[in-house]
Structure 1
Amino acid sequence: MVFVVFPIGTSAKLTRRPTVTLLLIGLNTIVYFLELVVFFSGGTKALQRLFEELGFIPISPKPYTLFTSMFVHDAPLPFHLFGNMLYLWIFGRYIENVLGSIIYAVFYMTSQLGAIAMQTVALKVFNTDLLFVPQVGASGAIAALLGLFVVRFYHERVKLFYIYRVIWYYDYGVTYLPSTIVLGGWFVLEIVNGVLSLTSRNASVGHWAHIGGFIVGVLAALLFGSLKEAQVESLISCAEQSIKCNMWKSAEMHLRRAIRANRRHVVARLLLSVVLAHFRRTDEARKHLQVALMESTQLNPDEEVALSECFSKLGEKLLTTILELSTPEMKFDIALLLERIGNCELAIEAFKSVASEETADEETKALAMLRCAEILLKDFNDKESALQLLNELCVRFPSSQWVTLAKHIIHKVAHE
């Protein structure tokens, strides 16, 4: 029987371009092609001399090889490079996404030190014959990324491609498994292989570097507070599912736990206001909504994406409830927030709600209609609906300060 499985993706989401990850893959690939030049021009001996110069040799280490070794891979066959770059791409980009490019780059470069330290100690204690062998490859640093990933994204799944053969029968496909099972299983397998390698004179894989890197990643995740962030994300996801299934008590429990972990979490506050409104605890619901709107002015790009996804999942159910809880001023702030995070259809509904609010002042209603028309023009190119709103604004509020701008837009659209 033959069984092969390897990762090809994850269920996690990206909110920014993985610039550093792409750069690292590019640098490793360039160095590999330079190795090929050395190999084809000077043969195996020339390549071995390159490994001795740039690789980390535990018995006589050169300081610069702590870093150069992580860009050198076995050659001429590309399997060592391909395997490492596959894992770097699949898992590294998500770590870059949550840490930011600069911290991620520093972490990647320094985590190799922990991997090398573990490999060196293991060899000095159990297998001194391999202390003279150059250690090359990025797998120690990549193992650190795996350790950080399994903590930060413990609630996500890894997409796996598998193929197996039993005698003449074979099959293949794709499946998803929890990251804790996939990467936890990988770590256990590395420990087993690491123990077996201690007595081997020909061990060619730095299993103890992998183990050391993975431990560094887990410790770094705890230091960065990644576990807390992951727990909040998991609680929010459970709450969203509970709301969809009308399991309101369960949703409240998850959301209160999320807020205890992060008191300024906008999505948790918004969802809890919806749940409390369902239980007709209006005053408490409005209080959480007010806090959410206040905190929404300080959202970072990742938080804006999470909020946008929340509105996309729950849509009208979420918007209708929070609008019912809101004063005219709060409704206007909600509409502006929805426009800012890119939920334009819901923003239009919110602005229309402000325009039809009896207790709102005329200037606020007029501005709401104007913003609604601008969204229709900019994001939907719906000139007919936009002109209808603008003309209505001019008729309903002829003395408003926004009438001049409305007439200017009407004139501009009419002559396009």
Structure 2
Amino acid sequence: MFIPLHDKNELVHVRLQYVTFGLIALNVLVHLITQSGAGGFLLQDYAVAYGLVPDIFATFSLDEIAQGNPVLLTSPLSYAFLHVDWMHLIGNMAFLWVFGDNVEDALGHVRFLLFYCLCAMGAALVHMLANWGSPIPLIGASGATAGIIMAYLLLHPNVRVWILILGRIPLPIPALWCLGAWLALQVYNSVTSTDDVVAWWAHIGGALTGAILLPVMKRKSVSLFQRSG
């Protein structure tokens, strides 16, 4: 649909968005470790081992919970640090790079990290319920970044964001228009699409989690729907 390039939205409460930087660096590092050869594609073994497979949760036993099955415990978060290829990774990290700093500014470093992880887990839960019993692993940070997008939209709907449309046309558009359109597209596709490649319901889950958590986790001095930025 579009790629975010830049927003002119100064930080107020933090000097440096080092959690955002750290998350991007961690995603890149994990991809370097898990990719195969020069093609940069994720090795299937990693997707199965660390991705979220709904079928595993649909068939688990109480004994597995008691024994602390590592897949049950880790995959609702570890999946968000795996990406199919470099384009998948860069697309997600572009949204985190442009919008993550201001959300981190509004929440604070520690709460932002917790927010990101909870959005990823909320996305995993909704995806799992919508695809119950599916053997296809869910991977990618798009659910977590959907929570970031929703948080930014609730905080700074009027800030102009430079986006790249169709891969070649740069335009400055208010966040309400471009991010609102992005969210509307996720809802539409989650209902109508039969494409198993894109996890539309994970995007919905991440966005809903972000909408619920932001008012609770933001700094008390930070207001929603800010008019300037």
CA distance in structure 2 between the partners assigned to 1:213 and 1:163 by the alignment: 25
For the 8 Å contact 1:5–1:160, the answer to whether it is kept is yes
What is the deviation of 1:93?
1.2
Answering whether residue 21 of structure 2 is matched by residue 22 of structure 1, we say: yes
Match of 1:132, SS? coil
Answering whether residue 179 of structure 2 is matched by residue 183 of structure 1, we say: yes
Structure 2, unmatched stretches of 5+, are 58-71
Query: Which residue in 1 is equivalent to 2:83?
Result: 73
Query: Which residue in 1 is equivalent to 2:114?
Result: 106
Query: Which residue in 1 is equivalent to 2:67?
Result: none
Structure 1, unmatched stretches of 5+, are 165-171, 238-305, 307-416
Query: Which residue in 2 is equivalent to 1:204?
Result: 197
- After superposition, give the CA deviation of every residue in 1:251-297 in whole Å (9 maximum; x if it has no partner): xxxxxxxxxxxxxxxxxxxxxxxxxxxxxxxxxxxxxxxxxxxxxxx
- After superposition, give the CA deviation of every residue in 1:133-155 in whole Å (9 maximum; x if it has no partner): 11111111110011111001122
**CA pair 209-179 structure 1, distance change in 2 beyond 3 A:** same
For the 8 Å contact 1:87–1:142, the answer to whether it is kept is yes
CA distance in structure 1 between the partners assigned to 2:182 and 2:28 by the alignment: 25
- Select which of 48, 51, 55 maps to 2:47: 51
* Aligned partner letter, 1:19: Y
Query: Which residue in 2 is equivalent to 1:151?
Result: 154
What is the deviation of 1:177?
1.5
CA distance in structure 2 between the partners assigned to 1:186 and 1:193 by the alignment: 11
- After superposition, give the CA deviation of every residue in 1:12-52 in whole Å (9 maximum; x if it has no partner): 2124211011111111101111112xx239x98x9212210
The structure carrying a bigger helix percent of its residues is 1
For the 8 Å contact 2:3–2:94, the answer to whether it is kept is no
CA distance in structure 1 between the partners assigned to 2:209 and 2:155 by the alignment: 14
* Aligned partner letter, 2:113: A
Match of 1:203, SS? coil
Answering whether residue 209 of structure 2 is matched by residue 216 of structure 1, we say: yes
Answering whether residue 59 of structure 2 is matched by residue 63 of structure 1, we say: no
CA distance in structure 2 between the partners assigned to 1:5 and 1:63 by the alignment: 34
**Structure 1 moving runs of 4+ over 3 Å:** 224-228
CA distance in structure 2 between the partners assigned to 1:148 and 1:226 by the alignment: 13
TM-score, normalised via structure 2 length: 0.83
CA distance in structure 2 between the partners assigned to 1:152 and 1:226 by the alignment: 12
Fraction of identical pairs, as percent? 28
CA distance in structure 2 between the partners assigned to 1:70 and 1:81 by the alignment: 10
Query: Which residue in 1 is equivalent to 2:7?
Result: 10
* Aligned partner letter, 2:19: V
For the 8 Å contact 1:152–1:221, the answer to whether it is kept is no
Query: Which residue in 2 is equivalent to 1:34?
Result: 33
Match of 1:133, SS? coil
Match of 2:192, SS? helix
How many corresponding residue pairs? 211
CA distance in structure 2 between the partners assigned to 1:31 and 1:229 by the alignment: 35
Higher gyration radius (CA): 1
Report 1 or 2 for greater relative contact order, CA contacts < 8 Å, sequence distance ≥ 6.
Answer: 2
